[in-house]
């Protein structure tokens, strides 16, 4: 899809695939992320160096990312470079070399990336929480996979996975900025229209399970993640949940920041977020706290979540959250990368991009009563997933949160 913005000399291209780590079974955990690495090692007639040199020689940049439900490739460049960008990304997704030597080498690189994530407490604690939230399911496994599952990859397996994952019927090509729609359609048909593949089965519906995990490490700070079931990206109450997360812990005026940091000095970093997937979602809280005060922080977090869910926000809080979300939408509109990425993601999720005017209208329409109704939905399942990583003194904080939330 084309998103022309008159007067600009540059464009942002996003090629997004409806497929990622959530499509993997346990045997192939991490293969989507590994594949994203491997396609940059050679594709079509290009070597690894050629791929980046061709883009950078025109003043552009290229990048990619793998998520649970999407894999995306991005190019930012001058208007004249659009044909080159389309050709390069087409080669990456449809014609990668996938040599055995590169697979062996990149498996070692990803193994180092896995080790780095494990050694980074505020990364690994999220993996621990995800495993509790969606135990035994793809959403509960790290996007990076494990050393064992990555070690199983070979050329035949990766080529089969590429053909399954990068199915053209699950792709969206989106360009924002200096782009002509007719020209983009011609380029898309030339570089993406003739490819064929056999897309794999749809992922199984996800179910939030819940549980508590704790890992003792000899570090100074306890890293805490508390999660409860959220809503899917398609749910009618998603705008209200985004406001809920903002009021709970979205900024310095949020309830958690004020109560946990400003009033009690329990944490330097504390925030809340919402992640919506195709059929489920998660509302979460993260904090870094002194080990000896982690249980106190857990009680405060549970109390703030329960109070907001039960009583709803004040008019002042609701107005502030609406202003922040609306402003963030319009600010994202001023970034070509954000526009192209959002258009691609929304097309995959909803069938078409949603104008910012529509999104802000949905946010503005949320009432305090909507928030209270949402709060009842959030607390009804009485499930939570918690993870604590740090000194032994903090180990019980997750159970304290769960007990306080569901008391």
List, by residue number, the catalytic residues.
36
Integer Cα distance of 131 and 345 in angstroms:
25
Query: Cα torsion for 235, 237, 240, 241, to the nearest 10°?
Result: -50
Give residues with Cβ within 8 angstroms of 312, minimum separation 6: 368, 369, 371, 372, 375
Pairing mode, strands 46-47 and 42-43: antiparallel
CB atoms within 10 A of CB 112: 10
Phi then psi for 274, rounded to 5 degrees?
-130, 130
What are the residue ranges of helices labelled H in 219-355?
Answer: 238-249, 255-256, 294-311, 315-333, 336-350
DSSP for residue 2: E
Phi then psi for 229, rounded to 5 degrees?
-60, 135
Beta bridge partners of 192: none
Place of tokens 């995990």: 213
Characterize 296-318 residue by residue with b for buried, 16 or more Cβ atoms within 10 angstroms of its Cβ, and e for exposed: bbbbbbbebbbebbeebbeeebb
Integer Cα distance of 111 and 102 in angstroms:
14
Distance from first CA to last CA of the chain, Å, rounded?
50
Q: Which of 14, 11, 109 is nearest to 348 (CA)?
A: 14
């Amino acid at each position: 899809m084309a998103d022309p913005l008159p007067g600009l000399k540059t464009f942002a291209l996003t090629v997004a695939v409806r497929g990622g780590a959530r499509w993997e079974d346990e045997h192939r955990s991490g293969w989507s992320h590994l594949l994203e690495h491997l396609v940059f090692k050679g594709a079509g007639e290009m070597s690894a160096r050629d791929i980046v040199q061709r883009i950078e020689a025109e003043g552009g940049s290229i990048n990619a990312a793998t998520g649970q439900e999407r894999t995306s490739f991005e190019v930012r460049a001058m208007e004249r470079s659009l044909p080159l960008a389309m050709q390069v990304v087409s080669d990456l997704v449809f014609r990668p070399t996938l040599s055995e030597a590169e697979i062996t080498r990149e498996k070692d690189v990803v193994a180092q990336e896995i080790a780095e994530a494990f050694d980074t407490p505020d990364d690994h604690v999220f993996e621990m929480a995800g495993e509790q939230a969606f135990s035994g399911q793809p959403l509960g496994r790290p996007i990076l996979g494990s050393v064992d599952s990555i070690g199983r990859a070979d050329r035949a397996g990766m080529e089969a996975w590429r053909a399954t994952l990068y199915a053209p019927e699950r792709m969206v090509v989106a360009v924002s900025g200096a782009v002509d729609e007719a020209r983009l359609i011609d380029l898309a048909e030339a570089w993406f229209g003739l490819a064929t593949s056999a897309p794999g089965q749809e992922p199984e519906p996800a179910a939030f399970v819940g549980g508590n995990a704790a890992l003792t490490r000899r570090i100074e700070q306890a890293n805490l993640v508390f999660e409860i079931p959220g809503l899917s990206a398609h749910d009618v109450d998603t705008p209200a949940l985004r406001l809920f997360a903002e009021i709970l812990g979205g900024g310095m005026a949020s309830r958690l920041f004020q109560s946990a940091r400003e009033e009690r000095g329990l944490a330097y970093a504390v925030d809340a977020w919402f992640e919506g997937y195709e059929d489920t979602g998660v509302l979460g809280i993260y904090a870094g706290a002194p080990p000896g005060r982690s249980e106190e922080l857990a009680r405060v977090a549970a109390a703030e979540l329960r109070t907001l869910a039960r009583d709803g926000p004040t008019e002042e809080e609701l107005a502030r959250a609406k202003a922040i979300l609306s402003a963030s939408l319009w600010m994202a509109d001023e970034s070509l990368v954000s526009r192209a990425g959002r258009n691609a993601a929304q097309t995959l999720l909803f069938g078409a991009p949603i104008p910012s005017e529509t999104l802000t209208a949905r946010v503005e329409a949320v009432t305090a009563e909507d928030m209270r109704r949402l709060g009842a939905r959030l607390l009804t399942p009485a499930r939570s997933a918690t993870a604590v990583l740090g000194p032994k003194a903090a180990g019980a904080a997750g159970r304290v949160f769960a007990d306080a939330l569901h008391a």
